[in-house]
Structure 1
């Protein structure tokens, strides 16, 4: 089959959180989701001064989906009510299955608040099917060196493979639903062809730089919607570029969301709120 073609581009809109620069391409005014990809926040890039307050994401609940957090620059400390705790540095990834529900906090470690430095983070929400909404919560934190960095185009591009397969290698995360996720860094003029099996939803966000996607020019800070008319995605970098790329089977199920909860019915949302308010999702001590 040929490479997939571009259907439409969606610009990320600014939605800063305090002094944290934030762009959000999905959900947006013209797109609700890329089933099963629900939500993406792009924080930064920005520079934090020494003796800063760090990130503002104190303890909060989730149920019914997974969060995949890419630390492109800086550091991110994670702690949750399931007993998981880590500090992940630049190039690392945090993959959390909220499932039946937990409380977690995502904060800057004391060392980062003390000395400051660059920060850029992507957080993606991936929906879970009804059969897995109440699965056991789980968490995996990966440092840069635990993620395969696969050279492409004679070393002019690198695919950082978190889950799924690329060029005969398998990512360290085994997704519950077969989601493939990776980041791609490209030098100007480099070419990469990424797998996108027919029938699967493709998630393509341009973190930085300008590219051609199957000969269509795409812009930085845009989500690119692909047609299901091929089995790969062909990228050519016009400048140095960074891309977030994934693919997954669409769930084609009802989505009912309320803040940090994503379920299939309003009744399940109400139950999640009650469980949180009653303390059944646990607690996080900072």
Structure 2
């Protein structure tokens, strides 16, 4: 029997005025381990006066992970953080009981060409941390664990797996790994994985269970411990997963919680602009009422 339980294609969605390919949540698989939301941004060329422009908006009950392949994003949040994220670096923002942030293409890049390409991810917080104080961590690209096994190259972006641990301060057992193959290679790592597991194909081709899978789709394993696949030369994939949450998670807009009352409270706080503000920002994204 095939170990592939669900195949998830990218579906078009928008954030601000920017198109993305949405992977999670999916109707047949709302979460994979603690991962509640994954968007593939771009690749998109920045034309005159264009770019990513997402005004201040709130989050609760999750950590966001931003990982870029190309371009830059200026992150500002209600903790006073103002930092530009560049390719290979990691922004990890924990919302807890509530945080507000904006995401914009740096002003110097508007009208100067270039492109933006990357992943934006939400990781649900365990119930005991849902109401923690918000915090922010930035990990430089040079500090991300990287190693090679033959012609296959690995980066552990977050969590712990395959005998390595990322400096990203995660809150539950999880992993998010980049895998690249210079030449055609078989990857057999299931014995080192745990929880639930998904594989996102960015470039190239994955061969598994007698089938071939092109880019821009996600394969979710029935059993992470049986995870084995073949990569064609030049392929890049992202392996992610971990222990699932024991309770259901509710998602409304940018809010994730194990209790719908927390979401209703966050909705009302945002309507009344009761969240902390982002220094230097005046606008905001209104609460969608539907």
TM-score range with shorter-chain normalisation?
Answer: 0.7 to 0.9
Q: 1:195 to 1:92 in 2, by over 3 A?
A: farther
Match of 1:248 in 2: 242
1:198 positional shift = 6.3
Match of 2:267 in 1: 273
Match of 1:260 in 2: 254
Q: In structure 2, which of residues 157, 166, 171 is the aligned counterpart of residue 171 of structure 1?
A: 166
Contact 2:32 2:241 in 1 (8 A): no
5+ residue gaps, structure 2, are 282-290
Residue deviations 1:121-159 (CA, integer Å, cap 9, x gap): 21111111221110121111223222122122x2x2321
Q: 1:193 to 1:144 in 2, by over 3 A?
A: farther
Q: In structure 1, which of residues 55, 69, 75 is the aligned counterpart of residue 66 of structure 2?
A: 69
- Report SS of the residue matched to 1:145: helix
1:251 positional shift = 0.7
- 1:189 and 2:184 are equivalent in the alignment: yes
Match of 2:284 in 1: none
User: Take 2:191 and 2:25, find their aligned partners in 1: how far apart are those partners?
Assistant: 22
Match of 1:14 in 2: 12
Residue deviations 1:161-216 (CA, integer Å, cap 9, x gap): 12234554321213111222122222240333445656501132112221124654
Name whichever of 203-212 and 273-282 sits farther off: 273-282
Q: 1:218 to 1:138 in 2, by over 3 A?
A: same
Match of 1:82 in 2: 79
Contact 2:3 2:226 in 1 (8 A): no
User: Take 1:167 and 1:131, find their aligned partners in 2: how far apart are those partners?
Assistant: 27
Structure 1-normalised TM-score? Answer: 0.88
Match of 1:206 in 2: 201
1:19 positional shift = 5.9
Query: How many residues get paired?
Result: 279
RMSD of aligned alpha carbons = 2.3
User: Take 1:200 and 1:167, find their aligned partners in 2: how far apart are those partners?
Assistant: 14
Structure 2-normalised TM-score? Answer: 0.87
Name whichever of 266-275 and 165-174 sits farther off: 165-174
1:81 positional shift = 0.3
5+ residue gaps, structure 1, are none
User: Take 1:37 and 1:101, find their aligned partners in 2: how far apart are those partners?
Assistant: 19
Match of 1:39 in 2: 37
User: Take 1:210 and 1:106, find their aligned partners in 2: how far apart are those partners?
Assistant: 32
1:242 positional shift = 1.8
User: Take 2:255 and 2:92, find their aligned partners in 1: how far apart are those partners?
Assistant: 17
Contact 1:88 1:142 in 2 (8 A): no
User: Take 2:132 and 2:190, find their aligned partners in 1: how far apart are those partners?
Assistant: 29
Name whichever of 33-42 and 68-77 sits farther off: 33-42
Residue deviations 1:50-97 (CA, integer Å, cap 9, x gap): x43320211100001111111111111111001222111112221111
Match of 1:102 in 2: 99
Name whichever of 261-270 and 162-171 sits farther off: 162-171
Residue deviations 1:214-259 (CA, integer Å, cap 9, x gap): 654223111111012x525223212422212122111131222211
Contact 1:196 1:247 in 2 (8 A): no
